[in-house]
Amino acid sequence: MFGPLLYGVAASSVMSGTSLLYATLGEIVGERGGIVNLGLEGIMLVGAASGFAMTALTGNPYLGLAAAAVAGTALNLIFAYLVVSRRANQLATGLTLMFFGLGLSALVGRPFVGALITGLPKLHLFGGGGARGGLLNYDVLVYLAVPVSVLIWWLLFRTRWGLELRAVGESPAAALAAGVRPPRLQYQALALAGLLGGIAGAHLSLALTLTWAEGMTAGRGFIAIALVIFAKWNPLWAIAGALLFGGAESLQLQLQAAGADVSPFIMNMVPYLLTLIVLIVWGWSRQTAAPAALGRTFFGVE
Amino acid sequence: MPRDGAALWRMLSAQTAAVALVALIALSAFSALLLAAGGNPLKAYADTVVYVFGNAYGFSELLVRMTPLLLTAIAAALPARIGLINVGAEGQLYMGAWLATGGELALQDHSAFVVLPLLTLLGFIGGGLWALLPALLRVLRLVNETISTLLLNYIAPLIVSYFIFGPWRSPESASYPQSPAFVDAARLPTFFHSRVHAGLIYAAVCLALYWLVMTRTRFGLEMRAIGGNPEAARRLGIPVFRYILIVMFVAGGIAGLSGMAEVSAIQGRLVSELSPGYGFIGFLVAWLAGTSASGIVIMSFLFAVLSSVGDMLQITQSLPFSVINILMAGILFIVLGRRPARRTA
């Protein structure tokens, strides 16, 4: 029993971890610019719904993916306008964005409940083909997950843009004095974060479940926000975090499929409990890598 | 808070006018969106007005809706006064309902005078303990209370589901899992041949106490000090940690009361779909109200009306209830964008 179980866990943790990874990467980019976005859950929902709707309409999952990316970006720009230009409270605005996304995705997804779609195609790598596929048998977002993480890391730590963004996240006043325009960078970072959040949602509906259901992200947006802390705001550590949580989720699914005698409700608690435990352990270690100006509203140097 | 009636009235009417303007803007945008999605917003509004204000029963249903919103809004407003963000009223509601149901199952053969106070207390404790955990994590400086209360919202309904699918499952309802029906002594009284129940009295009492404590006592003053500058408050000798623990426990307890009232008065048993997000709507209410007691009443009323619009969209136009979140969040977006926070905020 254990052989297939382990193989199943490994394969499906990659699948369920992918969505979390994109979401976490997006949140890292925003938070490096000093902005906490608690609305990630709403972004993911809108990404999942709009991606699914577009795929159902056109039959092309890649167009669905594009729609999700556009929708996520647009939604996060509303957030950016409120917290950057209007200087609204980030936590309250983020939570409001979550409710907005919850409602908007329900409206967008409503005509497509129960629709059948062909999800993101599996690309066979390393030989195979046919029903068994090769050694690797995943969709394009899975293959791109690690390269995108490395790309985001490079963007944040090896480019001038990343340096300036991190400066804004540490001290907007100092960055401004050095000739950086904090609002512009924050808008750009949040646009990128929205794009990644939309893609994260689309992976759920277009690759993982192949359905749309209201509230289908089930708190993954908040788990991703916790993963940012776990990853110490580093895109490369986010890969490990996403695999860990993907593993927890898929272990629960595989155990259920294997007919283990544990209540499904107890097993469904595992990802949330694990998130809390990770946060507690990380809080204990007291080493914070959080950007110094995270969550603070910058009022300029008046 | 103004002392004379006229000033109070002026303040309330100014507040109401501002709210009405914002609601109108948000309503127009929401209508456009609904039209684009093929819905009929005007029909939904007309249906709501006819249903809610057309007869006494419809209006009484509005009070039924308002009750959990008032309670969960206080649960968000009270911690906000000391700078804490409690987004966990939804989970606290479920845990209050859960513990109250546990009490009901244990106290089958007693009179209502014994059972109801005990269930109320258990509802309070259930919600309170569920909020105490994030408070402890916050005091120990381990986890921020915003993220922990959010996560606990996802766990509480799973606990409820575990019990009604397992140990507490009623043998009579084979198809639909729920706990056995509450005995009559465990049912909160309802009034005027409607579903308006004693939970509304709980809400009124909590609201009055909230206003009194915040404006008329040393505790309110000290809480405002903590909310303004926790470090300065600590140096003044205010026991900040004790305040965090007690305030979160009481806030969770108040949310728990709404859960207890839902199972005891409305459902008459523990079910898995206890709340269509009352805890979350209550949070929006508290933010819109700026945590003032009068604002909570006005906003709870407004959001109860909006919830009825959501019901109408669901019943007559088969749109999901949660579509109404667009409108509720839209209103808060406008308010958040309209008045930039002060530097000290």
Question: Along the 345 residues of chain B, how does pLDDT read in single tens digits?
Answer: 555 677 777 777 777 777 778 878 888 888 888 888 888 888 888 888 888 888 888 888 899 999 999 999 999 999 999 988 899 999 999 999 999 999 888 888 888 788 889 999 999 999 999 999 999 999 888 888 888 999 999 999 999 999 998 888 887 776 778 888 888 877 888 888 888 888 899 999 999 999 999 989 989 888 888 888 888 888 888 888 999 999 999 999 999 999 999 999 888 888 888 988 899 899 989 988 888 899 899 999 989 998 888 888 888 888 888 888 898 899 888 888 876 544 433
Residue at B345 is within a domain:
no
Higher pLDDT, A288 or A36: A36
Joined tokens for residue B306: 């909006």
**Nearest Cα to Cα of residue B170 among B272, B270, B274, B275:** B270
Residue appearing with tokens 């969960």: B72
Domain CATH for B157 = 1.10.3470
Higher pLDDT, B131 or A11: B131
Beta pairing partners, B197: B190
Task: Assess B320–A contact: CB distance below 8 Å, yes or no.
Answer: yes
Say if the Cβ atoms of A265 and B159 lie within 8 Å: yes
Q: Does some domain include residue B4?
A: no
* Cα gap B10→A120, rounded to integer Å: 59
Residue A302's pLDDT band (boundaries 50, 70, 90)? very low
Interface-testing mutation among B141, B336, B344, with chain A (most A C-beta atoms within 10 A): B336
What the block records as the tokens of A302 is: 């008046």
Name the class of domain A10-122+134-285.
mainly alpha
Return the residue matching tokens 């053969």: B109
Give the whole-angstrom CA distance, residue B44 versus residue B30. 12
Tokens of B253: 């307890």
What pLDDT score does A288 carry? 65
Query: In this structure, are residues A14 and A142 in contact, taking their beta carbons and an 8 Å threshold?
Result: yes
- What pLDDT was estimated at residue B253? 96
Which residues are within 8 A (CB) of B220 and not within 5 positions of it... i.e. 6 or more apart?
B81, B213, B214
Whole-number percent of chain A with pLDDT over 70? 91
> Which of A205, A254, A246 lies closest to A18, judged by CA?
A246
SS3 for B38? coil
Contact map slice: B 83-102 vs A, CB within 8 A: 85, 87
Report phi then psi at A95, rounded to 5. -65, -40
* DSSP-assigned letter for residue A113: T
Q: What is the DSSP letter of A85?
A: I
Domain regions of chain A by residue span: 10-122+134-285
Q: Which of chain A's residues have a Cβ under 8 Å away from the Cβ of B322?
A: 102-103, 106, 214-215
SS (H, E, C) B204-240: HHHHHHHHHHHHHCHHHHHHHHHHHCHHHHHHCCCCH
Encoded tokens for B287: 């933010």
Say whether residue A141 is in contact with chain B using an 8 A CB cutoff: no
Task: Give the mean pLDDT of chain A.
Answer: 86
Question: For residue B32, is it within any domain?
Answer: yes
Q: Which residues of A268-293 are buried (b: 16+ CB within 10 A; e: fewer)?
A: bbbbbebbbebbeebbeeeeeebbeb
Total number of domains in chain B:
1
Pairs of CB atoms within 8 A across A/B: 134
Task: Give ∠ CA B83-B88-B89 in degrees, rounded to 5.
Answer: 100
Least confident among A124-133, A210-219, B36-45: A124-133
CA dist., res. A195 & res. A205, Å (int): 16
Model pLDDT for residues A229-269, shown as the tens digit of each residue = 888 899 999 999 999 888 888 887 777 777 777 788 888 88
Range of the domain at B232: 11-338
Measured N-to-C along each axis, helices B199-216 and B56-80 cross at an angle, to the nearest 10 degrees, of 40
CA B236 and chain centroid, separation: 33
- Alpha-carbon distance of B147 to B278, in angstroms, equals 19
DSSP B197: B
Assigned token pair, B136: 């402890």
Question: B298: which 2 tokens?
Answer: 């006005």
In sequence order, what are the residues at sequence separation of 6 or more whose Cβ sits closer than 8 angstroms to the Cβ of residue B246?
none
Q: What b/e string do you get for B166-193 counting C-beta neighbours within 10 Å, with b at 16 or more? A: eebeeeeeeeebbbbebbebbbbebeee
Q: Is residue B321 part of a domain?
A: yes
* Residue type, position A3, single letter: G
Question: If contacts are CB pairs under 8 Å, which of residues 134-153 in chain B contact chain A?
Answer: 137, 140-143, 146-148, 150-153
Q: Do A299 and B325 touch (CB under 8 A)?
A: no
Q: φ, ψ for residue A125 (rounded to 5)?
A: -110, 160
* Phi, psi (rounded to 5 degrees) for B73: -65, -40
B106 belongs to a structural domain: yes
Is residue A84 scored above 60 in pLDDT?
yes
Separation in Å, CA of B111 to nearest CA in chain A: 34
> Helix, strand, or coil here: B325?
helix
Q: Do B322 and A103 touch (CB under 8 A)?
A: yes
Instruction: Check B142 against A279: CB less than 8 A apart.
Output: yes
* Distance separating alpha carbons of residues A209 and A145, to the nearest angstrom: 18
Query: What does pTM read for this prediction?
Result: 0.88
Taking the Cβ of residue A102 and every Cβ of chain B, the question of whether any pair is shorter than 8 Å is answered with yes
Does B192 contact A at CB distance below 8 Å?
A: no
Is B101 within the bounds of a domain?
Answer: yes
Which of the two residues, A48 and A209, has the higher pLDDT score?
A: A48
In a domain, B344, yes or no: no
Report B:32-71 residues touching A (Cβ under 8 A): 33-34, 37
Select from B153, B319, B328 the Cβ nearest to the Cβ of A110.
B319
Tokens of B187: 């049912």
Strand, helix or coil at A24? helix
CB contact under 8 A, A87 and B340: yes
Taking the CA of residue B156 and the nearest CA in chain A, the distance in Å comes to: 9
Burial class of residue A178 (count of CB atoms within 10 Å of its CB; 0-12, 13-18, 19+): exposed
Residue ranges with strand state E in A102-150? 122-125, 136-139
Are the C-beta atoms of residues A24 and A241 closer than 8 Å to each other? yes
Residues in chain B closer than 8 A to A218 (CB atoms):
154
Q: Best mutation site among A84, A95, A302 for testing chain B: the one with the most B CBs within 10 Å?
A: A95
Nearest residue of chain B to residue A288 (CA atoms): B142
| Contacts by residues A134-139 (CB-CB < 8 Å, ≥ 24 positions apart) | A138/A14, A138/A15, A139/A203, A139/A206, A139/A207
Element at A144 (helix H, strand E): helix A140-158
**Best-predicted range by mean pLDDT (A96-110, A128-142, B103-117, B159-173):** A96-110
pLDDT of A276 > 70? The answer is yes
Best of B317, B325, B328, B339 to disrupt the A interface (most A CBs within 10 Å) is B325
Q: Give the model's confidence band at A101: pLDDT under 50 very low, under 70 low, under 90 confident, else very high.
A: very high
Phi then psi for B344, rounded to 5 degrees? -80, -15
Q: Please tell me the predicted confidence (pLDDT) of residue A192.
A: 96
Q: What's residue B163's pLDDT?
A: 92
Task: Assess if residue B128 is contained within a domain.
Answer: yes
Average pLDDT over residues A134-155: 85
Q: Best interface-test mutation with A: which of B33, B40, B142 has the largest number of A CBs within 10 A?
A: B142
Question: Tokens for B313?
Answer: 């969209």
Using alpha carbons only, give the angle A196, A279, A156 rounded to the nearest 5 degrees: 35
